[in-house]
Amino acid sequence: MIDLASLYRFRFDEADLPGKMRIWRTLCADFFQQFIPTESTVLDVACGYGEFINNIEAKRKHAIDLNADVKRFLRDDVNFHLTRADTMEGVESDSIDIAFTSNFLEHLESKDVCDAVLGEVLRVLRPGGKFIVMGPNIRYLAGEYWDFYDHHLPLSNLSLEEGLAIAGFRVNTNIARFLPYTTRSAIPQHPLLVKMYLKFRPAWHILGRQFLLVAEKPGKSSD
């Protein structure tokens, strides 16, 4: 098994984290918050250094990851679970309003493991809950997709939509091109430029190489 703490330390410079946090603060406020009422219970699946969960507004926050080192980067209002995403130990069934994951599914070893992860997300979501998924789109990356040692599972927005449907989700939003591949690529770094990028959708069709899907667990919430 890959030592995630060592891999993260090699791949990500902690000095770059404040800049990434500024980008994600804008992404959350100006885009992702529209899907997430502030009274929600939110789960960040494979939370990394907390770029999303630290910056989204929600009543209750949960995060899971296999790297114990990430806990020190999370805010005090985040309930951290050290667990696999295909078991999600400590996360109760029907307890989450919104689940989110970014740049995670491509790290899974196989479609069988991905199916197990999708099944776990479906389990922990309340009826009517949403799953927001962002990741690199193999249709627009080709060889670059494999430049990371721990990339295993190539996915496009269309193949993931099928996987979500098979798992029991209803896909409401499917955007083939959303953000550039990495924060070191063409995405603007200044918050004002990020805001402009998010508002000017034609730029997505030029620079975007990550998909964004929003899926829903069928049924009505009991709240």
Q: What CATH number does residue 209 fall under? A: 3.40.50.150
CA 41 to chain centre: 15
- Is residue 221 one of the residues assigned to a domain? no
Note the pLDDT of residue 130.
98
> Is the pLDDT at 4 greater than 60, yes or no?
no
- Is residue 222 one of the residues assigned to a domain? no
- What's the average model confidence in pLDDT over 38-45? 98
- What's the average model confidence in pLDDT over 183-210? 83
- Is residue 223 one of the residues assigned to a domain? no
Note the pLDDT of residue 186.
52
Number of domains comprising the chain: 1
As a whole number of angstroms, the distance between CA 204 and CA 129 comes to 27
How large is the C-alpha radius of gyration of the chain? 16
- Is residue 110 one of the residues assigned to a domain? yes
Planar angle of CA 133, 184, 159, nearest 5 degrees: 30
- Is residue 23 one of the residues assigned to a domain? yes
- Is residue 159 one of the residues assigned to a domain? yes
As a whole number of angstroms, the distance between CA 125 and CA 96 comes to 5
Identify whether the C-beta of residue 167 lies closer than 8 Å to the C-beta of residue 115: yes
Domain span at 57: 4-216
- Is residue 137 one of the residues assigned to a domain? yes
- Structure token digits, residue 27: 């992404």
207 band by pLDDT with thresholds 50, 70 and 90: very high
Note the pLDDT of residue 151.
84
Note the pLDDT of residue 221.
62
> Is the pLDDT at 8 greater than 70, yes or no?
no
Give start and end residues of each alpha helix (H) in 102-156.
Answer: 111-124
- Is residue 198 one of the residues assigned to a domain? yes
Q: CA–CA distance from 14 to each of 5, 118, 122, 204 (Å)?
A: 12, 30, 33, 28
10 band by pLDDT with thresholds 50, 70 and 90: very low
| Residue that wins the pLDDT comparison between 102 and 144 | 102
Note the pLDDT of residue 3.
47
Judged by average pLDDT, the poorest of 53-62, 100-109, 155-164, 181-190 is 181-190
The closest alpha carbon to 23, from 51, 43, 53, belongs to 51
pTM of the complete model beyond 0.75 = yes
Average pLDDT along the chain: 89
Identify whether the C-beta of residue 41 lies closer than 8 Å to the C-beta of residue 63: no
